[in-house]
Structure 1
Amino acid sequence: MTADDDSDYLGGWAGRAMLVLASSTGGIGAHVAGMAGRLAASGVEVLVCGPGSTEKQFRFTERGASFTPVEIPANLHPSDMRAVRALRQIMVRDKPEVVHAHGLRAGLAAALARPTVPLVVTWHNAPLRNGLRGRMHTLIERIVGRAADVTLCASADLEDRAKAVGAKDVRFFPVAAPPLQRTRRSRAAVRAALGIAEGVPVGLSVGRLHPQKGYSMLVTVAARWRDLTPVPRILIAGEGPSYLDLAAQVSELRAPVTLLGHRNDVGDLLAAADLALVTSVWEARQLFAQEALTAGVPLLATAVGGIPELVGDGAELIEASNPDALDRAFRKLIGDPQARAELAQRGSRRAATWPNEQAAVESLRNLYAELAKRTG
Structure 2
Amino acid sequence: MRVALVENSGNLFGGGQHSFLQLLGAFSQAIEPLVVVPAWGSFADAAAQRARVVVVPMPSLRNSAPFGWIHAGIRLAAVFRRHGIELVHANGSRCMLYAGTVARLCGLPVVWHVRINDPDPALDWLLQRLASTVVVNSCFVAKRFPGFQTEVIPNGVDLALFRPRTPRPELAAELGLGPHERIVLNVARCVAFKGLDRFIEVARRVVRRMPMTRFLLAGEGPLLEELQRQAADLGDRILFLGARRDVPELMALADVVLFTSLEEPFGRVVIEAMAMGIPVVAFASGGVMETVLPGETGLLVDPDDLESMAEAVLGLLSSPVERRRLGEHGQRVARRDYDIRLHARRIEALYDRCR
Any idea what the Cα deviations from partners look like across 1:140-180, whole Å, max 9, x if unmatched? Answer: 3333223222000111122233244xx4x411112112345
The answer as to whether partners of 2:8 and 2:93 remain within 8 angstroms in 1 is no
Residue in 1 aligned with 2:50? 63
**Would the aligned equivalents of 2:6 and 2:99 in 1 still touch at CA under 8 Å?**
no
Which residue number in structure 1 is paired with residue 173 of structure 2?
Answer: 192
What one-letter code is carried by the residue in structure 2 that aligns with 1:345? Answer: E
1:245 Cα shift? 1.5
1:350 alignment counterpart = 333
Partner residue of 1:319?
302
- Letter of the 2:7 partner, please give it: V
Aligned to 1:27: 15
Q: Could you say what secondary structure the match of 2:135 adopts?
A: strand
TM (normalized to structure 2)?
0.86
Letter in structure 2 aligned against 1:261:
G
Q: Which residue of structure 2 aligns with residue 172 of structure 1?
A: 152
Q: Are 2:90 and 1:101 equivalent residues in the alignment?
A: yes
The 5 Å alignment of 1:148-227 reads 148-164=131-147, 167=148, 169-179=149-159, 181=161, 186-227=167-208
The one-letter code matched in structure 1 to 2:109 is P
Amino acid corresponding to residue 316 of structure 2 in structure 1:
L
Aligned length: 345
What is the alpha-carbon distance in structure 2 between the residues aligned to residue 235 and residue 19 of structure 1? 34
* Pairwise CA distance, 1:112: 5.5
* 1:69–1:274 CA distance, 2 compared to 1 (3 A): farther
- Distance in 2, Cα, partners of 1:100 & 1:207: 26
Is the CA contact (8 Å cut-off) linking 2:7 and 2:95 kept in structure 1?
yes
Residues 321 and 65 of structure 1, relative CA distance in 2, 3 Å threshold: farther
Tell me by how many angstroms 1:233 deviates: 1.1
Answer yes or no: is the 8 Å Cα contact 2:37–2:55 preserved in 1.
yes
- Could you report, residue by residue, the CA deviation over 1:32-77 in whole angstroms, capped at 9, with x for unpaired residues? 1112233385541322324433436x6111112323153677xx75
Inter-CA distance 97–163: structure 2 relative to 1 (3 Å threshold)? farther
* Counterparts of 2:62 and 2:203, CA distance in 1: 36
Q: Is the 8 A contact 1:163 1:170 kept in 2?
A: no
- Measure how far apart 1:221 and its partner are: 2.4
Q: Which residue of 1 aligns with 2:111?
A: 120
Taking a change above 3 Å as real, the CA distance of residues 146 and 307 of structure 1, as seen in their structure-2 partners, is: same
Q: Deviations over 1:220-267 (max 9, x none)?
A: 221233323443111111122221221221225547221111111111
Question: Which whole-Å deviations, capped at 9, do the CAs of 1:185-242 have from their partners, x for residues lacking one?
Answer: 7443321121101111111111221111111111122123332344311111112222
1:303/1:318 contact within 8 Å kept: yes
CA deviation after TM superposition for structure 1 residue 87, in Å: 4.1
Aligned pair in 2 of structure 1 residues 289, 192: CA closer, same or farther (>3 Å)? same
Cα shift at 1:309:
1.9
Q: Quote the residue 1:8 is aligned against.
A: none
- DSSP-derived class of the 1:208 partner: coil
- Is the contact between residue 190 and residue 220 of structure 2 (CA under 8 Å) also seen in structure 1? yes
| Residues 210 and 113 (structure 1), Cα distance of their counterparts in 2 relative to 1, 3 Å cut | farther
Pairs within 5 Å for 1:270-349: 270-312=251-293, 313-349=296-332
TM-aligned CA distance change 1:71 to 1:258, over 3 Å: farther
SS at match of 1:138: coil
CA shift for structure 1 position 94: 1.2
TM-score (norm 1): 0.82
Residue 32 of structure 2: aligned partner: 44
Check whether the contact 2:5–2:91 (CA below 8 A) recurs between aligned residues: no
Give the superposition deviation at 1:181: 3.2
Q: Distance in 1 between matches of 2:307 and 2:334?
A: 28
Query: Aligned letter for 1:63?
Result: R
Query: CA distance change for structure 1 residues 92 and 103 in 2, over 3 Å: closer, same or farther?
Result: closer
Asked if structure 2 preserves the Cα contact closer than 8 Å seen for 1:36 and 1:63, the reply is yes
Deviation at 1:115, TM superposition (A): 4.1
Using the TM superposition, give the Cα deviation of residue 124 of structure 1 relative to its aligned residue in structure 2, in angstroms.
0.7
Q: Which moved more, 1:180-189 or 1:21-30?
A: 180-189
SS of 1:197's partner is: coil
Partner Cα distance (1:366, 1:82) in 2: 37
Over the aligned positions, Cα root-mean-square deviation in angstroms equals: 2.8
Report the residue type matching 1:249 in the other structure. Q
Distance 1:259 1:322, change over 3 A: same
- Separation in 1, partners of 2:275, 2:212: 27
- Displacement of 1:316 in angstroms is 0.7
How many angstroms does 1:110 deviate by?
3.6
Distance 1:216 1:80 in 2: 40
